[in-house]
Structure 1
Amino acid sequence: MDIPHPSALFDLTGRVALITGSGSGLGQGLAIRFSQASAKVIVHFNASRAGSQAVVERIEALGGEALALAADLTQPDEVTRLVTQAVAHFGRVDMLINNAGLYPLAGLLTMAAAEWDAVIAANLRSTFLCTQAVARQMIAQGSGGAIVNITSIEAENPAPHHSHYSAAKAGVFMLTRSAAAELGRHGIRVNAVAPGLIWREGLEQDWPDGVNRYLAAAPLGRLGMPEDVADACLFLASPAARWITGASLTVDGGVLTHQVY
């Protein structure tokens, strides 16, 4: 095989990235970062229409190409429609970043079954449906592709009131490995990124205790930024990671290095 020159490893010119949940939060940073690497970006949203359009406008202002598309990723027909619309506009899909999800709090003993189902659907079912639909499109294209799933350090380190979320993200990690095993023969790589606590506007005011505890525990002494996670995804989606599949990259400032007893 041809080995890319180092200067070309992160040049995604001509490639199309579908980034779910990119109308707000971490997804915005992912969309902008992939565009900066010259990828064309599908900015998916479910509820944040205004936010997704703002992301598209920012990407276009920077000289990139982007399209905002809506879909409920828990519904197979809507996921199929999303991929069909993306291909109709850009001609192909080369990269999928499964970022969309929910992050609510609910105690195990008081959680309603509907709350459990909603979190599993938003985080795990959506990842399955998008992976399946995009992988089928990549196989039809015949040129392989890369899928990166956003999990969490909570997939292996549970937090209070997050049993549903931790279970869903652990499931996404095993889905990542299973998909990597099945899709490798088609030239499709599937990996995961497990972020720690990522900064957002107002986080210090909303959860000062948690922020302070995280800062004290992180060897690198700061919260993560969306770009920290985006660059890890960019690496795994790029030719630089051409012989990496079924892996999970932890991006947490070193928090999981702490002794647990």
Structure 2
Amino acid sequence: MSLLLRGQVALVTGAGGGIGRGIALRFAGQGAAVALHCRTAVAAAREVASRIGDSGGRAVVLEADLREESACHQLVREAAEWAEGAGGRLTALVNNAGVQPVQQLPGMTAREWRAVVDTNLTSVFACTQAAAEVMREAGGPGSVTHIASIEATHPAPHHSHYSASKAAIVMHARGAALEYGPYGIRVNTVSPGLVDREGLSEDWPEGVERWQRAVPLGRLGRPEDVADACVFLASPLASWVTGHDLVVDGGVTARPTW
């Protein structure tokens, strides 16, 4: 079977974390060259880049604080320049970087609210704007995928800022799909459910137990589950898919709540 992303160059934000790492490795495995963004997880991102290189792929690590609009635009410029140096062009962006603090809404300050919204939402706006301009100038086509969450429609206690930011990301993608579609640029979201990570069962045993009782497919998600959805949306298989939210949750949101 041919590689779905052969010839593409993708920028993955937050590539040092679990889901971002999975996306970067899947993209590389499907033939894409990958620019790996990180802010603090530099060593982890370099390890991913090394794995991609050892497998015969191409990768570069780029550092940026995406809470700053100018840093978002600079990151995209650096990724595009790297793509050109490798003989290609930037064709895909995956907006994965984000934070998920736990905090009660009563007593939350505007500064604490903005810390989540700026990281999760404003960075998506700025990176998408910058990447879409690069793709448009190159004549397209291109794809942008935001990592949202099932909490965009099913909020959890003490996650009001996070849930609000993810709901806004879903609507941003739909609006961007309308405006960038004429240039051949598709914009979609992937909304994961609970994705496993090292130590999750020890850190939140009651939550993991509740999830496993509720999810029809009987397990937590894996980074690869989210990555496969992103590969599909960036590939020619999704050439007529835009403005769509692809839920990847093992079916948990299909379960009645009453």
TM-score, normalised via structure 1 length = 0.95
1:151-166 alignment, distance < 5 Å: 151-166=148-163
Counterpart in the other structure of 2:38: 45
- Partners of 1:232 and 1:83 lie apart in 2 by 22
Matched, 1:23 2:20: no
How far off its partner does 1:73 sit? 1.2
Counterpart in the other structure of 2:191: 194
Counterpart in the other structure of 1:206: 203
Deviations 1:156-198 (A, max 9, x none): 0010000000000000000000000000000000011000000
Counterpart in the other structure of 2:76: 83
How far off its partner does 1:110 sit? 2.2
The answer to whether the 8 A contact 1:98-1:149 is kept is yes
The answer to whether the 8 A contact 1:148-1:192 is kept is yes
- Partners of 1:73 and 1:93 lie apart in 2 by 19
Return the letter of the residue paired with 1:95.
A
How far off its partner does 1:11 sit? 2.4
Deviations 1:198-241 (A, max 9, x none): 01001000000000000000000000000000000110110000
Matched, 1:173 2:170: yes
Runs (4+) of structure 1 exceeding 4 A deviation are none
The answer to whether the 8 A contact 2:93-2:131 is kept is yes
Matched, 1:111 2:108: yes
- Partners of 1:203 and 1:127 lie apart in 2 by 26
How far off its partner does 1:95 sit? 0.3
The answer to whether the 8 A contact 2:5-2:231 is kept is no
TM-score, normalised via structure 2 length = 0.97
The answer to whether the 8 A contact 1:74-1:129 is kept is no
Tell me the number of residue pairs that the alignment of Structure 1 and Structure 2 aligns: 254
Counterpart in the other structure of 1:74: 67
